[in-house]
Amino acid sequence: MNQHDTIAVIDFGGQYAHLIANRVRRLNVYSEIYPASVKVEDLAHVKGIILSGGPQSVHEENGLKCDPGIFELGVPVLGICYGHQVMTHLLGGTVESGEVKEYGRATLDITESENPLFQGCNKQEQVWMSHFDEVTNLPAGARIIGSSEDCKYAAIDFDNNRWGIQFHVEVTHTPNGLKMLDNFLNACKVERNWSLDQFIEDEITRIKEKTGDKNVFLLISGGVDSTVTFLILEKALGAGRVYGLFVDHGLMRKDEGQQVEESLKKIGVTNLHVYQGEEEFLEALKGKYEPEEKRRIIGDKFLEVQRKVTEELNLNPDEWLLGQGTIYPDTIESGGTAHADKIKTHHNRVPQIEELIKQGKIIEPIKDLYKDEVRAVGEKLGLESKMVWRHPFPGPGLGVRCLCAEGPDNVPNAAQLELDLNTFLTEEGLTLVAKVLPLKSVGVQGDVRSYRHPVVLSGQADWADLEAISPKLTNRFLDLNRVLYHLNDTPITETQVTPAYLTQDRLNLLREADAIVHQTITEEGLLREIWQFPVVLIPLSINDRPGESIVLRPVSSEEAMTANFTEIDWSIARQMTDKILALPGVSTVFYDITNKPPGTIEWE
Ligand code: XMP
């Protein structure tokens, strides 16, 4: 197997470490993720170390630190955000709570442009910040090489071999971030010999070694991850030695269960067991409306079905390994070797499977890859483009896109809130009218889950107006976490929410609306441009139009940690709206103009 020069990424929590590892691989360098507790001895082979960001403070009692011995290894080190603070703190500098919380876009003034870290960069670079604490004093010998308006110590060179930066180079919002990372890798003098072709070749060897003469039982959803896993396993082991289980929970899109089955068969999945669970799942969800409870029920049901099927199949752990299409966000690394500790809910953990995990009898060939890499591997393995570019679809499926309600959930002081909102809109020079909806959806604000109301804006506006006003409203009006734009020209005078749960009829209506959207964006060639396009059913009617409403939620994203709502051509949006309004039982159609944060991609 090919030996690679390695960059170690020390994980201080959150998803930053994985994103950094992905970016390092994009630069053709192999990377490994280690927990903050890694021992220095285990890093003896690495050519460079990157300390990731994380959500903590170095002053918290439990704030993760790393072994200061890391700085004695002599290899280049780059600390990013929290990693930058940990490094400064351990090397003798000071970190304090910042007076200004800096979040989002900032301008970095590079004060030492000849620094190796900034080769090829501009004097001023747009960077992405997200911090509260900041460095306020440097250890001896260190110097500032870049500052932003609110962060003097935004970039530090400790000793021409160790750097700390307060901003995130790994996110796309730092346009020259990859260049800076590339510069750091140059300083590490690593060989750039990691490639996906090499990965596939190495992985096939690993799969053969790990399986020996055993077969693999693979949980398959029809999504790109599990399909690519199937293909790579089959490439390594040959047809017939991989057995797939696809659980149709009845919360799929229109005709999707059937399509998944057909496409899997088309690519050679012959050993496929399909479990029809629709009635069972809906029965378990009867009368439930609370998002987390719905998710838990769906997750539990998955486990129950798997338990049933694995028991029926009577898999002997001595003859079978369990395969899973886990990818990096589902993987928590430990001890330097990747062990999938957190597996998607629908993949774990019947007792028999747990036992297999304990015994190391689980195989997850793409657990270190990122969605873009998985897609590239899929293409290399000959997967048809329709499957490669399928939009991500959540495990609980339409279950989390079909909002349920016991009845209206009114915002306190709705009348005053609407008055304030409308005054604000006028002050902003907009002729839009605001209406707060008597229901809630899930969002993420300050890294914490929120469950708040959407506001709908009706009237004439262009994309630039909507883009500007949306964050202003959610920043100022704390009862809100989502902003919608009304796609039907009628002003909203009245709203009504009726009790609604997960029923076949409601799911069918949602499936029809979703199918219209899916067909339109496919015909318009927008499938690639839009990263994901949830279509949501909410039990709300307006004015004298009975029925329920549909929300269109197209987003652009790279890794789903952050997302922008996608602006699609008005004529296309109108075309979809007219078709959806023609469906019996649809009251109106909204367009979700919320970024993430503050709104999550899904509504629940
Ligand atoms: P949110 O709604 O949290 O979603 O912004 C981020 C991404 O994750 C997907 N998602 C899920 N995927 N099981 C999954 O496999 C789940 O339970 C689940 N919930 C959300 C979501 O579709 C988006 O791509």
66 carries an active-site annotation: no
What's the pLDDT score for residue 134? 86
Q: Which of 32, 125, 134, 170 is catalytic?
A: 170
Residue 597 is classified by DSSP as T
Q: Give, for 26, the enclosing helix (H) or strand (E).
A: helix 16-26
pLDDT tens track for 232-290 = 999 999 888 998 888 899 999 999 888 888 888 887 777 888 899 999 999 999 999 99
- Whole-model pTM: value is 0.77
**Is the CB–ligand 1 distance for residue 148 below 6 Å?**
no
Distance in angstroms (rounded) separating the CA atoms of residues 375 and 366: 11
Kindly report which listed range (213-227, 231-245, 308-322, 392-406) carries the lowest average pLDDT score: 308-322
543-579 tens-digit pLDDT:
999 999 999 999 998 767 778 999 999 999 999 999 9
Q: pLDDT for 509-556, tens place per residue?
A: 999 999 999 999 999 999 988 999 999 999 999 999 999 999 999 999
Confidence of residue 100 (pLDDT cuts 50, 70, 90): low
Ligand 1 binding pocket includes 333 (Cβ within 6 Å): no
Mean pLDDT of the chain: 89
CA atoms within 13 A on the CB side of 104: 9
What pLDDT is attached to residue 337? 31
81 is catalytic: yes
Please tell me whether residue 171 adopts helix, strand or coil conformation.
Answer: coil
Say whether 168 is catalytic: yes
In this structure, the residue with its CA closest to atom 22 of ligand 1 is 394
Which residue, chain included where needed, has tokens 């709502």? 565
Residue identifier of the C-alpha nearest atom 6 of ligand 1: 560
Mean local confidence (pLDDT), 314-322: 81
Q: Is 442 touching ligand 1 by the criterion CB < 6 Å?
A: no
Question: Cβ–Cβ contacts within 10 Å for residue 518, how many?
Answer: 17
Q: 329 CB less than 6 Å from ligand 1?
A: no
Interhelix angle 504-523/570-581, nearest 10 degrees:
150
Q: What is the pLDDT of residue 245?
A: 87
Structure tokens at 481: 């976490």
Catalytic residue among 66, 81, 151, 188: 81
With a 6 A CB cut-off, is 601 part of the ligand 1 pocket?
A: yes
Determine the Cα–Cα distance for residues 580 and 547; give it in Å rounded to an integer.
Answer: 12
Q: Is 600 in the pocket of ligand 1 (CB under 6 A)?
A: yes
The tokens 């009114």 sit on which residue? 410
Read off the pLDDT of each residue in 431-449 and give the average, rounded to a whole number.
89
CA of 394 to the centre of ligand 1 (A): 5
Q: Report pLDDT digits (tens) over 161-183.
A: 999 999 999 988 899 999 999 99
Decide if pLDDT at 343 tops 50: no
Q: How far apart are CA 174 and CA 155, in angstroms?
A: 14
% of the chain beyond a pLDDT of 90: 66
- Cα of 124 from ligand 1 centre, angstroms: 36
Closest to 441 measured CA to CA, from 302, 553, 584, 555: 553
Which residues are 108's β-sheet partners? Answer: 125
Q: Distance from the CA of 392 to the center of ligand 1, in angstroms? A: 8
Q: How far is the CA of 397 from the centre of ligand 1 (A)?
A: 9
pLDDT score for 335: 28
pLDDT band at 344 (very low <50, low <70, confident <90, very high): very low
Q: What is the CA radius of gyration of the chain?
A: 26
Band the pLDDT of 345: cuts 50, 70, 90.
very low
Number of other CB atoms surrounding residue 45 within 10 Å:
10
Q: Determine whether the shortest distance from the Cβ of 602 to ligand 1 is under 6 A.
A: yes
Residue 393 CA, closest ligand 1 atom number: 22
The protein residue with its alpha carbon nearest to ligand 1, atom 21, reads 394
How many Cα atoms are found within 13 Å in the side-chain-facing hemisphere of 556? 10
Protein residue whose Cα sits closest to atom 17 of ligand 1: 395
Distance CA 457, CA 257 (A): 36
Which phi and psi (to 5°) does residue 224 adopt? -65, -35
Kindly indicate the confidence band of residue 332, based on its pLDDT and cuts at 50, 70 and 90: very low
